[in-house]
Homo-oligomer: A and B are copies of this chain.
C-alpha cells in the first residue's frame, strides 16, 4: 500500500544525515573560512581532511548527504561551499540568540565575539538578580526574567544559551520551550528534559575534564582479575 501523500514517482528517499556528520559540517566550515582568508580557490576532500584529522572519505560522504558540491578531478570551490554550508546550518542569515543567566559564564559569553562572526546575534540577556538587571555588557542589556516572553517574541528568538544555576535549568528550559524557543544550549551541569520539538545541546565542562582525566590516567577497565597494568587506547580524535 502506497502512502497517499507520496509523490507519483518518488525519488529513492534521500539518506538522512547522521548527527555526527552535521557536527562535522561546522568543522569543515571553519576550515574553509580559514582557506578563504588565504584566497585558496579550491580544496580537495583530502586537504580538508588532513587539517582536521579525519579521513577524506568521510569528508566526501558527509558533504554528499547534503548535495553535490564538488567537481571530479578538481575538488570543492571554497567560496561556494562556504555559502552552501552556511545555508544548510541556517547561519546564512543572522539568527537572534539570548543568554539566560548573567553570572560569570553568561557575561563571558556575552562578550565572546566568535558567535557574531558565525552569524549569531546576541540580542538580550536575562537574570533574576537585581544586581545584574540593568547591566549592559558589550552593548547587550540584562533584563528581568519577567520580560522574557515579550522579548523572545518581538525579536523572534529561536535559540537560547542557558547559564543559570543547576536547580534553575529545568524550569527555565520549560519556560523557553513554552515561549517557542527551538534550540537550547545548556551550560548548567544538570540533565534537562524537553519536548522533542526542542533541540538541546549540553556543554558539560566537568564531564569534559572527567573524560580527559580518564584518558590521561590510562586506566584499565579490569573487569575482574586485574593483571599487571596495561595501556588503554588514548588519543580521542580532535573533535568533541
The answer to whether A67 has its CB under 8 Å from any CB of chain B is yes
A23 to chain B, nearest CB (A): 6
The answer to whether A26 has its CB under 8 Å from any CB of chain B is yes
Q: Contacts of A182 on B, CB cut-off 8 Å?
A: 212, 215-216
The 8 Å CB contact of A227, one of B11, B65, B202, B234, is: B11
The range of chain A's interface size is 35 or more
A70 to chain B, nearest CB (A): 13
| Complex CA–CA separation, A107 to B23 (angstroms) | 28
| Complex CA–CA separation, A209 to B225 (angstroms) | 45
What is the total number of copies of this protein in its complex?
2
The answer to whether A16 has its CB under 8 Å from any CB of chain B is yes
Q: Contacts of A105 on B, CB cut-off 8 Å?
A: 108-109, 112
Q: Is the CB of B90 within 8 A of A221?
A: no
- Segment 163-204 of A: residues with Cβ below 8 Å from B: 182-185, 189-194, 196-204
Q: Is the CB of B205 within 8 A of A14?
A: no
Stretch of A114-122, A126-134, A147-155 at the chain-chain interface: A114-122
The answer to whether A17 has its CB under 8 Å from any CB of chain B is yes
Residues on A facing B (Cβ under 8 Å): 7, 11, 14-17, 19, 22-23, 25-27, 29-31, 51-53, 64-68, 88-91, 95, 97, 104-105, 107-109, 111-112, 114-115, 117-118, 120, 158-159, 161, 182-185, 189-194, 196-217, 219-225, 227, 232-236, 238-240
